[in-house]
Each structure stands twice: as structure tokens, then as C-alpha cells.
Amino acid sequence: MFEWSQEQLMVRDAVRRFIEAEVVPHIDELEHGDLPPYDIVRKMQATFGMDQLARDRFAKQLDRKKNGQVETDAEREERAGDGGAAAMTLIPIIELCHYCPGIVTAMGVSLGLAAGTIMKQGTPAQMERWGLDLLTFDKVGAWAITEPGSGSDALGGMRTSARRDGDEYVLNGNKTFITNGPYADTVVVYAKLDDGSDTPVRDRQVLTFVLDRGTPGFEQSAPFRKMGLHSSPTGELFLTDVRVGRDHLLGETEGTPQGGRDSAKGNFVTERAGLAAMALGLIEECLKLSVDYARDRMLWGQPIGDRQLIQLKLAKMEVARLNVQNLVFRHIELSAAGKSLSLAEASAMKLYSAQAASEVAMEAVQLFGGNGYMAEFRVEQLARDAKVFQIYAGTDEIQVTHIAKDLLAR
């Protein structure tokens, strides 16, 4: 794949029209954190029939789970078609990121991480209880692994505990930086099993639980104030003697010792590939705004676009756009072939795209001069939003470790 197909371009244009009508008029409210993004996402789901598609997909996944089936490569290829499935997921992500990467973050965490984990690890009853409402976005989900004392060492450093008490588990701990944390109805929480043995906390088994908003002992903070990404609410979760039955433990079994660890790592590839699509949208927008500004801004009787130093900035932005677009196209092609990126490839894709988006957005601010520093000209918001790409879903430094580990193991 080296360019979008006609059908994909038509979808892109329809998504653009939706964004111009439903997102752009609310940018200020979203940016000031006054408007949580959820109603916009629901409207988008309904406009493009994504909620019905989610229902259909849910029914098939549930059926497969009930019959104990695992999707074969052939079925996966058939589902992927001409790469359409991945492309149709990524196009709205790219387009929304022209304006609002925060909406994509809030949406991606709920649909991809929270619903995705429940659909993968849950029993049929758990899928029915929590999965469908999340997939249709009737309910908002959060996915909580990070803690104040862990972060990049998310699994080893985790201290949130789950102690068995008769038929129940008692959960205690804190989670922080949780996307949708303040508003989520359904939260996937990772915790270490405290079975009273003397296994060091670092090595204890990781379990995955689902908590409902309003469960006694479970508190959700107000949104944090942040540098950017204001349209994605982020907060803390506090668990104080939260009692849940085994029906809240995903899979309803403590399973293999690595269960929860594998579940967390299983999300890395999709999350990292999705981030490259986010970076592409943001880069495309910064480039477009910069080219327009370079044409219009007159100094010494000439547009600044006539100056070679400005041309160099535009050229470097275009190189970044092409490279990130090619990475996204490669991911779409692989999906169409029923294949997926390795963890090292997804990490390389995320590392490059996140850095490219940050650099392009900061250069756009520079090209705009004083106007670049003013909110009205929008590159200021995009630069603040782009920075988080280098931090969440694994920092730049952590991507480097995953790439290097793979190279050195060959």
C-alpha cells in the first residue's frame, strides 16, 4: 500500500465533515477541560454506524468464546479484507488528531484497552456484563496499571494488592495518570495477588479485575491539570478495602502465574501502532498550517516562505510526514495479510513517530513566531499535545530498551 484507496478517501472526507461540524465548534470548551469528550465520541459512533458494527463484532467474539474457538489466520485475513479493517480504524484517529488528540486518547483507552482486555480475557458472562456497553461507548472505560511508585516499571513496581478473603478479594492501592479515571463507569485494574506467602512483591502474580463506578471503597479523583491533552480527562484512583467477588476477576480464575502480566503486555503493540496514526494526523495539520502561514506572512515585502531557513523547516516536516505515513501504511498492509508487528517493530514505530510529531509541532510554533505562542493559532495546542506521545504508552526511553533488547537477542 502506498496511498489511500478511493473508498478510504471517501471515508476520510466524511469523517472530516463530521469533525468540522461536531468537533471544531467545541475546540475551546474541550481545550479548557469544560467539555468531557464522551458525547462527541458517541455521536461519531452513531453517525458512522460504528456502534452497530461493534454489536455485530461483539456477537461473533462472544460466540467464538462460548465455543472455545480461537480466530484462525485465515479468518483473520478474511475479516481484514483489503486492509480495510485497520485502515477504517486508523482514519478517524488520524483525522481527529488534526484537532484533538485528547479525544482519540479518551476513546482509545475505553475501546481499545478497557473493552479490549475484557473481551480478550473475560468469560462470556463478563463479556456480556461489561464488554458490549464499552464497545458501543454507552459506558466509558478506563485501564489502570500505572501507580505513583511504578510508572515505567509498571509490573515489577506495582503495589496494589488483592487479598483472598473467603469467596471474595479485598483490593488496596492507588493508581495514577489514569485516562478517563474521573468519569469511567467500568475500570480494568491490575493488582498483585497477596496470598500470604513470602514471595517478594516484585515477583507476585498479577491479576486483572473489573471495578464498577460507585463500588464501596473505590474513589475516582477529579481531573488533573495538565500541560496539554485537555480533552482527555486524566485522574487518580484510590482503592481502600474494595471487596469484589470472583466474578470481577477477569477469566474468573487466577490462571497461570503470568496471566495479568501477559494481558498488560498484549496491549503494547496495538497501542504503539495506534500512536503512529495519531502522530500522523498531528504532523499533517502542523504542516498544513505552516505552509499556509509561510505563504501569507509578509516581511520585508516578501512571504517568509521565500526564506531558505523557513523552507528547510517545511521540508523537514514533509520528510517526517512521509516517513510516519509509510509506517502507518506498513501496519495496515500487515494487518491485511493477517500479520502483526513484533513488539520491537511497534516500539520503533512509536519512538520515531512520537519524536517526529513533537519536533514538527515545535518547529511549527517557531515558524509562526509570536503567533505560534498564542492559543488562537492552534500550533501551540498541538505542540503541548504532541509532547505526551513521548511519555504515555511507554516513554521514548522504554521504547529504546524494547528495540535494543530485540536486536541484541538476535
Ligand X SMILES: Cc1cc2nc3c(=O)[nH]c(=O)nc-3n(C[C@H](O)[C@H](O)[C@H](O)COP(=O)(O)OP(=O)(O)OC[C@H]3O[C@@H](n4cnc5c(N)ncnc54)[C@H](O)[C@@H]3O)c2cc1C
Contact pattern from residue 124 through residue 143 relative to ligand X, giving x for each residue in contact according to CB under 6 A and a dash for the rest: -------------------x
Count, residues near ligand X per rule CB under 6 A: 20
Q: Which among 290, 269, 268, 267 has a CA at the least distance from the CA of 365?
A: 290
Binding residue (CB under 6 A) for ligand X from 40, 144, 310, 367: 144
CB of 206 to ligand X, least distance (A): 13
Q: State the nearest-atom distance from the C-beta of 278 to ligand X, in Å.
A: 13
Closest approach of ligand X to the CB of residue 274, in Å: 13
145 binds ligand X (CB under 6 A): yes
CB-nearest residue to ligand X? 151
Can residue 392 be called a binding residue for ligand X (CB under 6 A)?
Answer: yes
Distance of CA 190 to the CA centre of its chain: 18
Q: Is the dihedral of CA 353, 355, 360, 362 positive or negative?
A: positive
Instruction: Rank residues 66 and 265 by Cβ distance to ligand X and give the closer one.
Output: 265
**Least distance between ligand X and beta carbon 318 (Å):** 28
Under the binding rule (CB under 6 A), the answer on residue 103 touching ligand X is: no
| Pick 314 or 391: Cβ nearer ligand X | 391
Q: Of these, 254, 369, 391, 406, which contacts ligand X (CB under 6 A)?
A: 391
State the minimum distance, in angstroms, from the CB of residue 352 to ligand X. Answer: 16
Nearer to ligand X, 190 or 368 (CB): 190
Give the x-and-dash track for 165-184 against ligand X (CB under 6 A): ------------xxx-----
Distance in Å, CB of 223 to ligand X, minimum:
11
Nearer to ligand X, 13 or 153 (CB): 153
Report the nearest approach of ligand X to the CB of residue 224 (Å). 8
> Quick one: 188 or 304, whose CB is closer to ligand X?
188
Task: Mark 192-231 with x for binding to ligand X (rule: CB under 6 A) and - for no binding.
Answer: -------------------------------------x--
Question: Does residue 270 bind ligand X (CB under 6 A)?
Answer: no
Q: Is 389 in the site for ligand X (CB under 6 A)?
A: no
Asked whether 223 and 202 are in contact (CB, 8 A), the reply is no
* Distance set, CA 302 to CA 290, 322, 364 (Å): 16, 29, 19
User: Which lies closer to ligand X via its Cβ, residue 144 or residue 317?
Assistant: 144
* By the rule CB under 6 A, 368 interacts with ligand X: no
Secondary structure in 3-state letters for the chain: CCCCCHHHHHHHHHHHHHHHHHCHHHHHHHHCCCCCCHHHHHHHHHHCCHHHHHHHHHHHHHHHHHCCCCCCHHHHHHHHCCCHHHHHHHHHHHHHCCCCHHHHHHHHHHHHHHHHHHHHHCCHHHHHHHHHHHHCCCCCEEEECCCCCCHHHCCCCCCCEEEEECCEEEEEEEEEEEECCCCCCEEEEEEEEECCCCCCHHHCCEEEEEEECCCCCEEECCCCCCCCCCCCCEEEEEEEEEEEEHHHEHHHCCCCCCHHHHHHHHCHHHHHHHHHHHHHHHHHHHHHHHHHHHHHCEECCEEHHHCHHHHHHHHHHHHHHHHHHHHHHHHHHHHHCCCCCCHHHHHHHHHHHHHHHHHHHHHHHHHCHHHHHCHHHCHHHHHHHHHHHHCCCCCHHHHHHHHHHHHHHC
Amino acid identity of 133? D
Instruction: Please tell me whether residue 121 binds ligand X under the rule CB under 6 A.
Output: no
Q: Is 155 an interacting residue with respect to ligand X (CB under 6 A)? A: no
275 binds ligand X (CB under 6 A): no
Binding mask 225-264 for ligand X (x = CB under 6 A): ----x----x------------------------------
Binding site for ligand X (CB under 6 A): 109, 143-146, 151-152, 177-179, 229, 234, 388, 391-392, 394-395, 397-398, 401
